Structure 1
């Protein structure tokens, strides 16, 4: 990276942190600190909600997902607009009428304290883990490509977030997220334009799409009912709806964003704005990944995008085998170039068949390289990430963008990490203060006491998130890992809320017992891979409702028989 890149990167991040700290200094009461004084307008809410969900993982993993697997991942978000409409009709009016600080306050009035506390704890567990991952995700990748110590990056990212989140609470998060989203949209748009500009002169956008289509990267819809496929229309529209209902309707990191709205209408418009913009945004980010794929059809690409993994194998006994695979990778690349040029001019079926055959050979060659990397890691008794989806986009940025823009795109990644982590820490601290500390440990204190407590809890959760980031290890794909963690807990939590909304006959003890049983079963189901993780949201939701109804029915029958 050049000096200009460092100036752009550091200047962008410090500007956001200093502005957020200065703009929101001096919150003296709980209303201001946790609900932002209820001053947020709909566009601020919409951008804040979007920034909370769009972590660095989105901008690192999603283009890599498209590079390897195409546009099908967009189906994951098909349930989001449906969920936004339901939340605007059911959840938000109730939260606004009750004037709650957290979503879980409502559960005590409907059931009892132990149900409220259990649901809050489920949120704290899953969101606490996710906060660590949203710090860890960009840190490990930037560590690999910049050569910085991983733990040092974890601490830097976490520390920057803690500064303004502790200082200004909810309002600081919302204010900074508007600017972070501006940086993010600007950076991604510039990257997209530059990718198209870097393609050969004879390859315009239309021909680039033709090439992507020939490589099966534009297959968006999958209407199959095969549970082996993670991303289908049905998993997105059904499993995705339940996941989004849980996330936006019951996860305090999102609920707190729209509870800061000036009015019920502003809250609803903010969520509808998010619902209208989110799917096109994800489509665009995936399209960026597809264009990166097209770019590498005409420019050499590494057989594996994780530079650290390649360093390990080069000093192992498998170095020669890896070099053979690299040579084969280059041969396949040269063979594809001529075919793709011909296909872009005349898309004949025979040429497409040859392209797909070479793509399959390239895929198998990359897989063989990954296997060798695994062996090299074991030989050196070290851990390396051999799934390189999360490294594709950052590799393109660092090796192809001009000076200054590299710093801007790195600022995009770190801004996204900071925005989502800030929301999570803010929500974790608010839930800890309102649902546990104020309710069960230190009731009847003044506002200043609870503001100070929330700041201390923000600091504590921030430190814990940094610690989780420092001991975490990458799974198959970062964006999948975050959604897997959510899917394990969200269905159960959503089911508890639906029982509260629509099943008035079910009492607190039945719900509490059902929630514990359901969480155990869902954890076992995930561990045993009974189904793709998206379906765990529907499974957990239905399961807790059925178990609660069964327990309540059995209790009623027992009571009736005892009174005869």
Structure 2
């Protein structure tokens, strides 16, 4: 049900949309329009801005609206994954980043080309395009949940408006516009999150003290679950192991994040940006979970049940119905900020991979002006693709979990390839391709598993439990690595190279 925003809030949202678009357009380059400038911002961005941009890309609209919903219906178990996120960042700093900074790389998949060859180079780049487009379509749809509740414009109209505004400054300003609008937008939604938590506390009799005591008594603040179960999404083992593998894949092999790490001046600043972003993410997740716990206490005290189709809509509904004039508009703008920062990064990374890993591999000698023009056209083309995918991906359930599940299916195989290329010398291109395909197929089967499966093994009946999405990347990476390594031993060593 649509609850109209008050006039002052609506004006604030419109001013934000106009202001951030104007701010992004200020980074349009009139002189140097090379693809290095367009995709890597001349590698002169300070580490702290990169760190905030990483957080902005990681903290999409899915996070802001879905994590409070998870706490509302469950507890703080989601933080176990954030612990794994920190561990994964450490592994990336030690294992992957030194390789990326040994050459003038523009995409993550050029590294695979150097190590294995052009076939695997193109295959990993293609899987990234498929995975990022599918996952981003779900993320863009998440915007419609917020805008639809606040403005009543409908899903499709909401998606179109936001996509066009984001495309405008991404198309013109490139990666520099993406980074600096991320910094501004992150500041906005952090302020909005803090203000939201304050607003919820002010609506609870007894304030923050009551929030903590009631939520604690209802076990809402419980963080650790040590159950040995692959079917439970949020356990300590799924969080630490699964979260570590998830981050190694998302931040170490996905062009969306790797591109940000490559814009740093040097390896040291890239590492500093990545590690500091992990600390900020942990704090942010904690704030979002406290919002969910606060909403649980608030609705429990008021005796009014939130009439929403899914838990993802609880927080947006509270923003529009209960927050004071001005603050509602601020928070809606903050959520739109997260959406626009993530969408702009996706457009730039999809365009850079299409250009560098496909077009320039076939036509490396085209002029700089042609490269620049085509890079912008690819940005435009991917905007149309994401718009279409967002429209067809409308559905129900926790959109955060849906988005991460889609990405995790292919991330596992991708991570396995990077690990084979980084920690082994015997892996070759043919064996690794076989491992990648097997890993992705197994993950697809696991993803489509609707419940426990009975299997017959050596005359015994075995019950295969439904596997939670938090394990997808670890499973896919392990299968890809093992199969790829074994198949490399049985195939020709032609195509085996070493990183230089």
- Report the TM-score when normalising by structure 2: 0.92
* Segment of structure 1 superposing worse, 505-514 or 175-184: 505-514
User: Aligned residue for 1:554?
Assistant: 490
Is 1:411 paired with 2:333? yes
Question: Does the 8 A contact of 1:488 with 1:522 survive in 2?
Answer: yes
User: Aligned residue for 2:29?
Assistant: 25
How far apart, in 2, do the equivalents of 1:227 and 1:546 lie? 20
How far apart, in 1, do the equivalents of 2:413 and 2:345 lie? 22
User: Aligned residue for 2:423?
Assistant: 502
Q: 1:344-374: per-residue Cα shift (whole Å, max 9, x none)?
A: xxxxxxxxxxxxxxxxxxxxxxxxxxxxxxx
User: Aligned residue for 1:174?
Assistant: 179
User: Aligned residue for 1:319?
Assistant: none
Of 376, 386, 393, 2:315 maps to 393
How far apart, in 2, do the equivalents of 1:151 and 1:556 lie? 51
* Segment of structure 1 superposing worse, 186-195 or 24-33: 24-33
2:491 is paired with a residue whose SS is helix
Q: 1:111-133: per-residue Cα shift (whole Å, max 9, x none)?
A: 01010100001110010112212
Question: Does the 8 A contact of 1:514 with 1:544 survive in 2?
Answer: yes
- 1:306-317 matches, within 5 Å, as 306=309
How far apart, in 2, do the equivalents of 1:420 and 1:284 lie? 20
User: Aligned residue for 1:541?
Assistant: 477
Q: 1:290-335: per-residue Cα shift (whole Å, max 9, x none)?
A: 11111112224335324xxxxxxxxxxxxxxxxxxxxxxxxxxxxx
Is 1:230 paired with 2:233? yes
Question: Does the 8 A contact of 2:412 with 2:440 survive in 1?
Answer: no
1:97 is paired with a residue whose SS is coil
Cα deviation, residue 267, structure 1: 0.9
User: Aligned residue for 2:410?
Assistant: 489
Is 1:288 paired with 2:291? yes
Question: Does the 8 A contact of 2:438 with 2:479 survive in 1?
Answer: no
How far apart, in 2, do the equivalents of 1:146 and 1:497 lie? 44
Aligned length in residues: 473
Of 60, 67, 74, 1:62 maps to 67
Higher radius of gyration, 1 or 2: 1
User: Aligned residue for 1:153?
Assistant: 158
User: Aligned residue for 1:90?
Assistant: 95
Question: Does the 8 A contact of 2:40 with 2:176 survive in 1?
Answer: yes
User: Aligned residue for 1:472?
Assistant: 393
User: Aligned residue for 1:524?
Assistant: 445
- Report the TM-score when normalising by structure 1: 0.82
How far apart, in 2, do the equivalents of 1:556 and 1:461 lie? 38
Cα deviation, residue 83, structure 1: 1.1
Cα deviation, residue 145, structure 1: 4.8
Q: 1:404-455: per-residue Cα shift (whole Å, max 9, x none)?
A: 1111111011111100111111100000000011113x32112221121111
Over the residues paired in the alignment, what is the CA RMSD in angstroms?
Answer: 1.4
How far apart, in 2, do the equivalents of 1:38 and 1:128 lie? 26
Q: 1:514-540: per-residue Cα shift (whole Å, max 9, x none)?
A: 212221221112112541111111111
In structure 2, the CA distance between the partners of 1:17 and 1:25, relative to structure 1 (3 Å rule), is: farther
| Structure with higher helix content | 1
How far apart, in 2, do the equivalents of 1:142 and 1:260 lie? 32
User: Aligned residue for 2:461?
Assistant: none
Question: Does the 8 A contact of 1:78 with 1:233 survive in 2?
Answer: no
Is 1:49 paired with 2:54? yes
Of 434, 452, 456, 2:356 maps to 434
User: Aligned residue for 2:254?
Assistant: 251
Consecutive unaligned residues in structure 1, runs of 5 or more: 307-387, 558-564
Question: Does the 8 A contact of 2:211 with 2:293 survive in 1?
Answer: no
User: Aligned residue for 1:265?
Assistant: 268
Question: Does the 8 A contact of 2:426 with 2:489 survive in 1?
Answer: no
Q: 1:188-231: per-residue Cα shift (whole Å, max 9, x none)?
A: 1111111111212xx14223211111112111110111222110
Cα deviation, residue 141, structure 1: 4.1
Is 1:113 paired with 2:124? no
User: Aligned residue for 1:123?
Assistant: 128
* Segment of structure 1 superposing worse, 162-171 or 77-86: 77-86
In the TM superposition, structure 1's runs of 4+ consecutive aligned residues that sit over 6 Å from their partners are none
How far apart, in 1, do the equivalents of 2:71 and 2:63 lie? 12
How far apart, in 2, do the equivalents of 1:392 and 1:482 lie? 19
